[in-house]
Amino acid sequence: MGQTLVFRPSRRKIAGMLLASFAFVVGGIVLIRSGHWVGWLSVAVFGLGVVVFALQLLPQSAYLRVGPAGFTVCTLFRAHSCRWSDVGPFKVARVGPKDMVVFSFSDRYRGPRHLGRLNTTLVGAEAAVAVDGTWNIPMEELVAVLNRYRESYGAV
């Protein structure tokens, strides 16, 4: 188990969301040309979606790397790493219609806890690792992998 694992979002699912967002942008343009102001809202919201999903298709823009030293979550080229000793157990939490892999920091963690209290109130944990719907692994399986590494390499 000492190997490093890398999980990536499904390119097919991301491409599907990109195409859907693009279709809503086109629909918004049609509405704008027909004189409906709501078209601007559609173009703004789904135009942002087009940019985000297009960026997620680029190499190294999104991944979850799991290894003996800890894990690294990267979203839109921004990576954040945690040591196993800094996190508590992982679990699946339901947020609206989606499952998420979440965790809280251990007492040994000395880093920032941005929005920790709010997140704990909303989902029962301080931070999230992955949201179901784009990854190539079921959230329950991902939780099992993360907890297995945590227990083997640094849980106190």
Query: Of 103, 95, 94, 154, whose CA–CA distance to 129 is shortest?
Result: 103
Q: What is the pLDDT of residue 155?
A: 55
Q: What is the pLDDT of residue 16?
A: 93
Q: Does one domain contain both 81 and 107?
A: yes
CA-CA distance, 56 to 103, in Å (whole number)? 24
Q: Does one domain contain both 44 and 80?
A: no
Q: What is the pLDDT of residue 130?
A: 79
> Would 100 be classed as within a structural domain?
yes
Q: What is the pLDDT of residue 70?
A: 93
Mean pLDDT by 10 residues, the chain (156 residues): 85 93 96 94 96 92 92 92 90 86 80 66 77 83 93 76
> Would 2 be classed as within a structural domain?
no
Question: For the chain, what is the domain count?
Answer: 2
- We report the CATH number of the domain holding residue 128 as 2.30.29.210
DSSP 8-state assignment for residue 34: T
Q: What range defines the domain where residue 105 resides?
A: 62-153
DSSP 8-state assignment for residue 75: E
DSSP 8-state assignment for residue 4: -
In sequence order, which residues have a C-beta less than 8 Å from that of residue 35 and are 6 or more positions away? none
Number of residues written out for the chain = 156
> Would 98 be classed as within a structural domain?
yes
Query: Of 29, 53, 54, 55, whose CA–CA distance to 42 is shortest?
Result: 29
Q: Does one domain contain both 105 and 79?
A: yes
Q: What is the pLDDT of residue 112?
A: 64
Here the tokens at position 9 are 């979002």
> Would 4 be classed as within a structural domain?
no
Q: What is the pLDDT of residue 1?
A: 61
